[in-house]
Structure 1
Amino acid sequence: MASESGNFLQYHELGIIEILIAVSFFTFLSLGEYISSKIIRANIIGSIVVGIIYGVPLANILPSAWQETFLALGYIGLILIIFEGGLTARLDLLRANFLLSLCGATTGVILPISFSYLLLYLGFGYGAVETFIIGAALSATSLGTTFAVISGASKEVDLSQTRVGAVLVSAAVIDDVTGLVMLSVIHDLGSLSGGGSANLGWLIGRPVLASALMAILTPVLSKWVFAPFFRRYIERRFAKYDHFSNIILMTLVLSAFVSIAAYAGTSVLFGAFLAGSFLTYLPSKHPEGPFVVLSREQGEKEKSKSPTFVHTFECYLLDALQYVLGPLFFASIGFAIPFLDLWTGDAIWRGVVYTLVMLVGKLLVGTWVLAWQFFSTPKDDEKQLITSNSRSGEKNSDSRMSGSLEPALLLGFAMVARGEIGLLIVQIGYNDTSYVSEAGFLTAIWAILLNTIIGPVVVGLLVKYFGKRISKGAWGLVENNQ
Structure 2
Amino acid sequence: MAGGFLPYHEPGIVEILIIISFFFFLSLAKWVSAKVIQAGIIGQIAVGIIYGVPLANILEHNWQETFLALGYVGLILIIFEGGLGARVDLLKQNFTLSMVGAATGVCFPIGLSYLLLYLGFGYGAVETFIIGAALSATSLGTTFAVISSASSTINLSQTRVGSVLVSAAVIDDVVGLVMLSVIGDLGKLSTDEHVSLGWLIGRPIVASVAMAIVTPIVTKWLFAPLFRKYIEYHFARFDHISNIILMILVLSAFITIAAFTGTSVLFGAFLAGVFLTYLPSKRPEGPFVVMSREEGEREADKSPTFVHTFEKYLLAPQEYLMEPLFFASIGFAIPFVQLWTGKRIWRGIVYSLLMVFAKCVVGIWIPTWQLFTRNPSHNRKDSSEPGESQLQPGSKEKSKSQDEGQGEHTNGHRWNRAWLAAALLGSAMVARGEIGLLIIEIGHNETPYVSDEGFFTGIWAILLNTIIGPVTVGLIVRFHAKKIGEGEWGLQDPAVPVSSEADMNGAV
Q: TM-score range by the shorter chain?
A: over 0.9
2:470 paired with 1:473:
no
Aligned to 2:64: 67
2:24 paired with 1:30:
no
Aligned to 1:350: 347
Aligned to 2:313: 316
Contact 1:94 1:170 (8 Å CA) reproduced? yes
Alignment: residue pair count: 478
Deviations 1:234-286, CA, capped at 9 Å, x for gaps: 11100000000000000000000000000010000000000000000000100
2:428 paired with 1:431:
no
Change (3 A) 1:389 1:426: farther
2:89 paired with 1:96:
no
Deviations 1:173-226, CA, capped at 9 Å, x for gaps: 000000011011101111123455421111111111111111111111111100
Aligned to 1:444: 458
Q: Where do 1:5-404 residues align within 5 Å?
A: 7-195=4-192, 197-378=194-375, 390-392=404-406, 394=408, 400-404=414-418
Deviations 1:308-358, CA, capped at 9 Å, x for gaps: 000000011000000000000000000000000000001100000000000
Contact 1:185 1:203 (8 Å CA) reproduced? yes
Deviates more, 1:42-51 or 1:375-384: 375-384
Q: Percent identity, aligned pairs only?
A: 67
Distance 1:311 1:349 in 2: 48
Larger Rg: 2
Contact 1:57 1:335 (8 Å CA) reproduced? yes
TM-score (norm: length of structure 2): 0.91
In the TM superposition, what is the alpha-carbon distance from 1:27 to its structure 2 partner?
Answer: 0.2
Distance 2:375 2:187 in 1: 51
Distance 2:17 2:330 in 1: 23
Give secondary structure in 2 for the equivalent of 1:403: helix
TM-score (norm: length of structure 1): 0.96
Aligned to 2:390: none
Contact 1:374 1:400 (8 Å CA) reproduced? no
Distance 1:197 1:349 in 2: 42
Aligned to 2:505: none
Q: 5+ unaligned residues in a row in structure 1: which ranges? A: none
Contact 1:120 1:131 (8 Å CA) reproduced? yes
Contact 2:140 2:170 (8 Å CA) reproduced? yes
Aligned to 2:389: none
Deviations 1:439-461, CA, capped at 9 Å, x for gaps: 00000000000000000000000
Deviations 1:13-38, CA, capped at 9 Å, x for gaps: 11000000000000000001111111
Q: 5+ unaligned residues in a row in structure 2: which ranges? A: 383-399, 497-508
Q: Which amino acid aligns with 2:493?
A: E
Contact 1:291 1:306 (8 Å CA) reproduced? yes
In the TM superposition, what is the alpha-carbon distance from 1:88 to its structure 2 partner?
Answer: 0.1
In the TM superposition, what is the alpha-carbon distance from 1:481 to its structure 2 partner?
Answer: 2.7
Contact 2:379 2:407 (8 Å CA) reproduced? no
Distance 2:131 2:68 in 1: 23
Give secondary structure in 1 for the equivalent of 2:4: coil
Change (3 A) 1:155 1:400: closer
Q: Which amino acid aligns with 2:492?
A: V
Distance 1:89 1:393 in 2: 34
Distance 2:120 2:65 in 1: 38
